[in-house]
Amino acid sequence: MNPSDNIEKTGGRSVLVVDDSRAMRAFIRRLFRLSGLPVGECLEAENGAEALQVLRQHRVDLILTDVNMPVMSGAEFIRELRQDPALRPIPVLVVSTDATEKRINEMVSLGALGYLRKPFFPELLKAEIERMVAWNV
């Protein structure tokens, strides 16, 4: 997958969705539309390595990432992200079926600002993003 192939633009904030499941990426895009959040550009990546490529080409206001992915996991991705001064300030929300206390603590210690367990509803996504970042809807 070419990281630039899956970009949806409608005006508003820019979000990067990192998940190895194409269906989950589409579901999250749909949830953004239903949530009423001011998301304009929704970029996608299949893994952490691909996400880093996208971030070198596009400005992003928020990242949603899965944990368990091939090539580069969510934990490895966040670790790399936080080491780059230009990318470090971008807020990260983890969305994963792996919601053990140990995993949540690991991801937060790496720099994630929030954690949602899959599956989730649009209202929960909206509330967590509003808690993390100041987006006036």
Helices (H), 9-73: 22-35, 48-57
Judge whether 124 lies within some domain: no
DSSP 99-127: --HHHHHHHHHHT-SEEEESS--HHHHHH
Per residue in 98-131, is it b (16+ CB within 10 Å) or e — as a string?
beeeebbebbeebebbbbbeeeeebeebbebbee
Residue 66 lies in domain:
7-92+103-116
Residue 85 sits in a domain of what CATH number?
3.40.50.2300
Number of domains within the chain: 1
Residue 18 tokens, joined = 């990192």
Judge whether 73 lies within some domain: yes
Judge whether 97 lies within some domain: no
% of the chain with per-residue pLDDT over 70: 89
0.85 cut: is pTM over it? yes
63/92 Cα distance (integer angstroms): 5
65/46 Cα distance (integer angstroms): 10
Give the lowest-confidence range in 4-8, 28-32, 78-82, 94-98: 4-8
Judge whether 40 lies within some domain: yes
Judge whether 34 lies within some domain: yes
The alpha carbon torsion through 13, 19, 101, 78 (nearest 10 deg) reads -70
Judge whether 122 lies within some domain: no
Whether the per-residue pLDDT at 134 is higher than 80: the answer is no
Q: Listing from the earlier edge strand, what are the strands of the sheet with 62-65?
A: 7-9, 39-45, 13-18, 62-65, 92-96, 114-117
**pLDDT: which is higher, 35 or 136:** 35
Q: What is the pLDDT of residues 9-55, one digit of tens each?
A: 445 789 999 999 999 999 999 888 887 888 888 999 999 999 999 99
Judge whether 12 lies within some domain: yes
